[in-house]
Amino acid sequence: MMKRILVVLSFFSLLLTGCVEKEIIDDVNIEMGVGYDQKDDEIEGTIMVPIFNPDKKIGNFTFSATASSNRDLFQEIQRRSAQPIVTGSLEIAIFGEEIAKKGIRDFIDAFERDPSIGARVYFAVADDKAKEILTGTYGNRGNAIHLSQLIKHNTETRNLPVTNMHLYLFELYQEGKDPYLPILKKEEPEVIDITGIALFKDDKMVSELPSDKMFFFKLLTDKFSEGSFKLEVDDKDVAVKDLDSKNKFKLRKRKPYVIDLEIEINGLIREYTGTIVTPEVIKKIEKEFEDQVNKEATAMIQDFQEMGIDPVGFGQFIKTKTRGFDFKRWEDEYKNLTVNVKTDVIITEVGIVE
């Protein structure tokens, strides 16, 4: 008898659980993307929610509202929605360029305080307006999933350094390293591109790196497990793919500070417009690759010093190696920092022909 009662209770528990999940999906709007733009003297907020169609394709619907402060935006948008808006499935938050330049600290405060929002939410800066990106139609899995997968793909296999809400907040609040975010641009009605990296001083965007500099920036701030790079050697085009890279800092001197930044790159030659890849050609390719990385990385670091930003994290590194390190003096010391970039490129394979 007792077993029968337990079976019946278990059966009803399953039914109730199923009903609760169905109620949640049917009776709420699930916020999966949010954007913020400056509109005259007010802030325009846009929330993107999915629409689950009978053909299993996911559509998109957006709610927009304007308010004088970020705190009032959500209430204004809730008034326009027939069901409550919930935030537990948020995938991406996009900040319009004008908002990013003024500072995003007030906006991210809401994300920090909401326990339903995961730390792996992506942050990004819109090339112009966040609303323009959120109101498009990309793929059949919904805009939020498409945009988050776009960032993830470019992080894992392309030239975008790893980034998410957790890392942005960590870099924002720690001393000795400044945050950065990807820049999204709508190139066509159904195509979004990552056109560069927004560089921040505290919570304000102060500059940006174009897409053709992202490869070198990733070498400085992250590592490649996949990737590719094209270069020209003796008027021959070379494509080095399946790149694997890592970097290491060494503190060589204090007063003034001198750092050796060692970059190690392994890769395979997959394309070569010459006839055959001889050992001499391999050495030329490795040398040219090393020279380009050293030149571009050194120039990039010097630009960062002139702008007074430290996205690479030299200050944080030196702090870990220096007893009694004083960040109040670091701003001036950073300008006089010398970084010696030393790159070692190793071509591990040249293809089956050779």
DSSP assignments along 273-326, one per residue: SSS---HHHHHHHHHHHHHHHHHHHHHHHHHHHHHT--SS-HHHHHHHHSTT--
Would the pLDDT of 136 be above 90? no
Residue 20 maps to a domain:
no
In a domain, 7, yes or no: no
Of 165, 194, 213, the domain-final residue: 213
Angle between helices 214-221 and 279-307 (to 10 degrees): 80
Q: Which one of 213, 241, 267 terminates a domain?
A: 213
- Angle value at C-alpha 281, between 278 and 287, nearest 5 degrees: 145
Contact 110, 70 (CB under 8 A): yes
Q: Are residues 192 and 278 in the same domain?
A: no
pLDDT of residue 110: 82
The per-residue pLDDT for 351 is 63
Asked whether residue 330 is assigned to any structural domain, the reply reads yes
pLDDT on residue 17: 47
Does 72 share its domain with 91?
A: yes
Q: Place 26 in a pLDDT band, splitting at 50, 70 and 90.
A: low
Q: Are residues 79 and 185 in the same domain?
A: yes
Q: Does residue 327 carry a pLDDT above 70?
A: yes
Find the helix packing angle between 105-113 and 70-79, rounded to 10°.
60
Residues 319 and 209 both lie in one domain: no
What domain count does the chain have? 2
Decide if pLDDT at 52 tops 90. Answer: no
pLDDT at 9: 45
Q: What is the mean pLDDT of the chain?
A: 89
Q: Are residues 187 and 263 in the same domain?
A: no
Q: Give the range of the structural domain holding residue 320, as residue numbers without chain letter.
A: 223-349
pTM score of the predicted model: 0.89
Lowest pLDDT segment from 25-29, 146-150, 230-234, 274-278 = 25-29
CATH of the domain at 312: 3.30.300.210
Pair of tokens at residue 54 = 């009978």
Listed residues 187, 213, 239: the one ending a domain: 213
Q: In terms of domains, do 58 and 114 share one?
A: yes
Question: What is the predicted pLDDT for the residue at 25?
Answer: 52
Residues 295 and 163 occupy one common structural domain: no
* 207 shares a domain with 236: no
**Strand 258-272's sheet: what is its strand order?**
228-233, 236-253, 258-272, 338-349
Do 115 and 196 share a domain, yes or no?
Answer: yes
Closest CA to 48 of 94, 105, 110: 94
Q: Kindly state whether residue 2 falls inside one of the protein's structural domains.
A: no
Q: Is residue 8 part of a domain?
A: no
Residue 9 maps to a domain: no
Amino acid at 138: Y
What number is the average pLDDT over the span 101-116? 88
Together in a domain, 52 and 78: yes
What's the pLDDT band for 178 if we cut at 50, 70, 90? very high
Q: Choose the weakest-confidence range: 12-26, 92-106, 137-151, 229-243.
A: 12-26
Residue 198 lies inside a defined structural domain of this protein: yes
Length of the chain: 354
- For the segment 40-53, the average pLDDT, to the nearest whole number, is 89
319 and 244, same domain (yes or no): yes
Q: Which pLDDT score, from 0 to 100, does residue 261 have?
A: 98
Based on its alpha-carbon atoms, the radius of gyration of the chain, rounded to whole angstroms, reads 25
Q: Are residues 293 and 151 part of one domain? A: no
